[in-house]
Amino acid sequence: MFGLTALIAVAAVGKTVMQSRAEGPAQVRDFYEWTEAGLKGKGVYGQLGCNNCHRAMGVGEVGLAPVLDGEGTRRQRDWLVRYFDNPTSMVPGSAHDGHLGPDFRLLAPEQRMLLIEFLFGLKAGPASPNYPIPPISLTGPRS
């Protein structure tokens, strides 16, 4: 009896391994790649209530503001730095000049840096609806 159970367990594990090999990198959906600063930034994101408007990591509604899952794949770090320094210079009429969303320019530089690291760690793979179209190069230079 034990022998049969063990055999079934081994067969099940074998099947899972084969499936994940067959799926390959093309099946990668949203994933997270945080530095220590990025993890701290996750806390700041929660404290500031960013998910009142944005959706990320399964929390927040769709439709009020862009979904932030995959932000770190769609945008370069440099874009985020400039957006947090001066939102309207990157997005004319941006909500983040304070008229709708929080004014990023009023945040302490440390908080901005932590949020940028957090957002840059929100990645998307080709199988994610948050993956950029047209696709970006995964091997090319990313700042």
CA distance 104 to 87: 7
Closest to 72 measured CA to CA, from 94, 45, 53: 45
Six-digit token string for 104: 């990023």
Q: Which stretch binds ligand HEC (CB under 6 A): 1-9, 28-36, 100-108, 128-136?
A: 100-108
Q: Tell me which of 38, 60, 72, 87 binds ligand HEC, using CB under 6 A.
A: 87
**Is 130 among the residues that bind ligand HEC (CB under 6 A)?**
no
* Contacting residue, 100, 110, 127, 129, with ligand HEC by CB under 6 A: 100
Residue 48 found at the interface with ligand HEC (CB under 6 A): yes
**Residues 128, 34: Cα–Cα separation, whole Å:** 18
- Let me know: does 124 contact 133? Beta carbons within 8 Å: no
Nearer to ligand HEC, 4 or 62 (CB): 62
Residue number with CB closer to ligand HEC (15 or 82):
82
